[in-house]
Amino acid sequence: MAAINSVADLTREGDIAVVTINSPPVNALSADVRNGLRNGVDQAAADPAVKAIVLICGGRTFIAGADISEFGKPPKGATVPEIQTSIENCPKPVIAAIHGTALGGGFEVALMCHYRVGVPSAKFGLPEIKLGIIPGAGGTQRLPRLSGVENALEVILSGNPFGAKQALEWGVVDALADEGKLREGALAFARKVIDTRMPLRKIRDLNDKIDAARGHPEIFEKVRRDNARKYRGFEAWHGAMRAVQAAIDLPFDQGMKLERETFLNLLPTAQSRAQRYVFFAERQAWKIADVPDSTPILPIKKVGVIGAGTMGGGISMNFLNAGIPVTIVETAKEALDRGLVTIRRNYDNTAKKGRMTQADVETRMGLLSPGLNLDALADCDLIIEAVYENMDIKKEVFRKLDKVAKQGAILASNTSYLNVDEIAAATNRPDHVLGMHFFSPANVMRLLEVVRGEKTAKPVIATVMQLARKIGKIAALVGVCHGFVGNRMLHQRQREANKLILEGAMPWDVDRVIYDFGLPMGPFAMSDLAGLDIGWSKETSKSSTIREILCEMDRRGQKTGAGFYDYDESRNAKPSPVVEKIILDFAAKKGINRRTISDDEILERSIYPMINEGAKILEEGKAQRASDIDIVWINGYGWPVYRGGPMFYADLVGPDKVLAKMKEFEATMGEDFKPAPLLEKLAAEGKRFQDL
């Protein structure tokens, strides 16, 4: 055995050379790994006794991707084009032997080889899009040549991995080895290549599948049409489309050049920086400064849910999906039945779309036990309350629950705004009480705000964080305050939106600016969707806000066919002349001189007060770090990932610029814009939220 360098060695099995990369934990494509690959292949190629070369990795995976820590640093070691030359132009067949996850640059290295062998558990993928870039080492040019253009688009645009069975079907791997016997399988395949004189097959020369897609622009048109809304403004997505298109339109080398240029152009963009930031932010969010990994975890074998309304049903589905039995309790049979019917209908719809079998539906429903009495929750390890948002009712529920629930059981509230400490004080186990704030629809939205009470015990927090991961959520730890992190900041935007429409803008102006910024919808469209009558009552309504007036007119949002907008039968929104008149009349009555409001002002007044509130949240220790706030906004409110979240956006704009604007607004519009001390401090010190 000959060492090539610290991470690579070269061995011989008769006339087959084996280049092994061993760079824990995931054999990322670092400078050492690149050198090892190039030099290993070159040395094997130069050995006259070698007839074929197997490229394999030690540890748990084939090369799992680029070394993300090298991004933005000066290049070192062998370049990717050099590796490509060594492998693809090697005069002897090179066979990649793949286990674990061949992702990104790792998969691209495998695609430079002449053949690929994988174990059945291997996964393949090009996740670059998730970092705001596109594959930069031939992925967009080679994959379509193997898998066909439509499959390649799916892989490259989604960034999601695919399995070995799929890879074999698409021709991405040439053979499967037995699980755990990759080396043997790859050597056997190499033997066959030598013995049957299989040709040096370069993917760059395979044109059948590319030719088949030529002259079919509808392939790309359909993808564009289906994703226009979701990916508007997302540069990497459009770059990836262009690169795959180039695989069809241009000769291989020119396609490679276009891919490389697109990759290099995207790498330094704010969007790509934002996505890399989010990548790390997602990993950070799980870490809690004073709750170490060694904190004991309580077993959660059975979950109870109180309330089978909008949230209770969705919350239950999360646990059923994870195979955890749920007991759901309501006060009345009708409400309970309605809740169960909704859960089943949701599952049936998923099954109809082919994303679940009918057997899966039955398994999940089989794990669900309905009840009409809190006593049914006596054996649950975790009980989540999702009844009406009313402190007295919640306290009453927790008082009773405390008597019924077994010792050691965790009691959680899904409250959106209420004080979790006050709820905890209604029990004799405040150390076992916390908030689990799910977002609607709770079976879909990824975010969970885990609300830590004053007395919540560390094992309780650790347990709920771990459980969140198990049910596929991303959790952010937050402190007790009105609206926690997400809704507390949302309130700032809503307040400004309401002011803006009196001062001169129309609801559709505000919504357009927020939508164009990249959020799924603006504040007024969102209100119409949620229903304008949340928290409204006919008895107390006094026509004192636009919203009250609309509710009084029975314009309660989408569900009544009218709200801030008019809706047609398919719920398409149209600006409403009625609402326009209501706003103009109301402003006149209030003596407001309406003025023209620029899009810039709408954006700044919507977002800067949110950032300012985020700064206060950090000062008060209600969030652990600025990036957790961004995680909340990306996963709970649809803030576009490629804009990194509100606090990252503040860093991009510059805290000093945000501060200057806030001061300017404060001078003319007062209190609502009073800068947070932390914002002042960052601006004065020339620092960013990320530096905290």
Ligand X SMILES: NC(=O)c1ccc[n+]([C@@H]2O[C@H](COP(=O)([O-])OP(=O)(O)OC[C@H]3O[C@@H](n4cnc5c(N)ncnc54)[C@H](O)[C@@H]3O)[C@@H](O)[C@H]2O)c1
How many other C-beta atoms can be found within 10 angstroms of the C-beta atom of residue 612? Answer: 23
Measured from the CB of residue 331, what is the shortest distance to ligand X in angstroms? 5
**Which one, 184 or 375, has the nearer CB to ligand X?**
375
Structure tokens at 287: 């870490």
Q: Which of 7, 73, 8, 67 is nearest to 42 (CA)?
A: 8
Of 88, 128, 235, 496, the active-site residue reads 128
**Which one, 321 or 413, has the nearer CB to ligand X?**
413
Measured from the CB of residue 513, what is the shortest distance to ligand X in angstroms? 24
Non-local CB neighbours of 584 within 8 Å, separated by 6+ positions: 594
Q: Output DSSP code: residue 442.
A: T
**Which one, 224 or 333, has the nearer CB to ligand X?**
333
Non-local CB neighbours of 618 within 8 Å, separated by 6+ positions: 625, 626, 629, 678, 689, 692
Report if residue 397 touches ligand X, rule: CB under 6 A. yes
Contacts to ligand X from residues 439-478, by CB under 6 A: 439-440
Of the candidate spans 209-217, 318-326, 384-392, 504-512, the one that interacts with ligand X by CB under 6 A turns out to be: 384-392
**Which one, 246 or 475, has the nearer CB to ligand X?**
475
Measured from the CB of residue 386, what is the shortest distance to ligand X in angstroms? 4
Measured from the CB of residue 575, what is the shortest distance to ligand X in angstroms? 26
Pick one of 95, 329, 426, 468: the residue that binds ligand X (CB under 6 A): 329
Which residue stretches of 228-357 are H helix? Answer: 235-249, 252-266, 270-284, 310-321, 333-352
Residue 519 in contact with residue 638, Cβ under 8 Å? Answer: yes
Measured from the CB of residue 435, what is the shortest distance to ligand X in angstroms? 10
**Which one, 276 or 622, has the nearer CB to ligand X?**
622
**Residue 580 known to be catalytic:** no
Of 13, 82, 108, 179, the active-site residue reads 108
The strands making up 94-98's β-sheet, listed across from edge to edge, are 2-5, 8-13, 16-21, 52-57, 94-98, 115-118, 175-176
Measured from the CB of residue 314, what is the shortest distance to ligand X in angstroms? 8
Cα–Cα distance between 344 and 91 in angstroms, integer?
A: 60
**What string of DSSP letters covers 541-563?**
--S-SHHHHHHHTT--BGGGTBS
**Residue 261 known to be catalytic:** no
Cα–Cα distance between 244 and 235 in angstroms, integer?
A: 15
Which residue stretches of 159-232 are H helix? Answer: 164-170, 182-195, 208-213, 218-227
Measured from the CB of residue 326, what is the shortest distance to ligand X in angstroms? 14
Residue for token pair 């074929």: 52
Report if residue 307 touches ligand X, rule: CB under 6 A. yes
Residue 27 in contact with residue 68, Cβ under 8 Å? Answer: no
**Which one, 335 or 653, has the nearer CB to ligand X?**
335
Q: How many of the chain's residues bind ligand X (CB under 6 A)?
A: 23
Cα 435 off chain centre by: 22
Non-local CB neighbours of 658 within 8 Å, separated by 6+ positions: 608, 611, 612, 650, 679, 683
Pick one of 308, 326, 477, 659: the residue that binds ligand X (CB under 6 A): 308
What number of H helices and E strands is found in the chain? Answer: 28, 20
Report if residue 309 touches ligand X, rule: CB under 6 A. yes
Q: For residues 487, 683, 674 and 478, what is the CA-based torsion angle, rounded to 10 degrees?
A: 20
Cα–Cα distance between 325 and 408 in angstroms, integer?
A: 18
Measured from the CB of residue 110, what is the shortest distance to ligand X in angstroms? 44
Pick one of 389, 421, 431, 599: the residue that binds ligand X (CB under 6 A): 389
Pick one of 311, 434, 475, 478: the residue that binds ligand X (CB under 6 A): 311
Pick one of 330, 449, 630, 651: the residue that binds ligand X (CB under 6 A): 330
**Which one, 308 or 579, has the nearer CB to ligand X?**
308
Q: Output DSSP code: residue 16.
A: E
**Which one, 118 or 636, has the nearer CB to ligand X?**
636
Site string for ligand X, 649-688 (x = CB under 6 A): ----------------------------------------
**Which one, 137 or 476, has the nearer CB to ligand X?**
476
Report if residue 342 touches ligand X, rule: CB under 6 A. no
Of the candidate spans 55-63, 329-337, 510-518, 618-626, the one that interacts with ligand X by CB under 6 A turns out to be: 329-337
Report if residue 387 touches ligand X, rule: CB under 6 A. yes
Residue for token pair 């054996």: 379
Cα 625 off chain centre by: 18
- Vertex 459, ends 454 and 460: CA angle to 5°? 60
Measured from the CB of residue 620, what is the shortest distance to ligand X in angstroms? 22
Of the candidate spans 144-152, 381-389, 570-578, 589-597, the one that interacts with ligand X by CB under 6 A turns out to be: 381-389
Site string for ligand X, 403-442 (x = CB under 6 A): -----------xxx---------------------xxx--
- Vertex 488, ends 487 and 493: CA angle to 5°? 85
Residue for token pair 């049957």: 196
Cα–Cα distance between 317 and 255 in angstroms, integer?
A: 46
Report if residue 306 touches ligand X, rule: CB under 6 A. yes
Site string for ligand X, 158-187 (x = CB under 6 A): ------------------------------
Report if residue 560 touches ligand X, rule: CB under 6 A. no
**Which one, 182 or 412, has the nearer CB to ligand X?**
412
Measured from the CB of residue 374, what is the shortest distance to ligand X in angstroms? 7
| Residue facing ligand X at closest CB distance | 309
Instruction: List active site positions.
Output: 108, 128
Binding site for ligand X (CB under 6 A): 306-312, 329-331, 335, 386-389, 393, 397, 414-416, 438-440
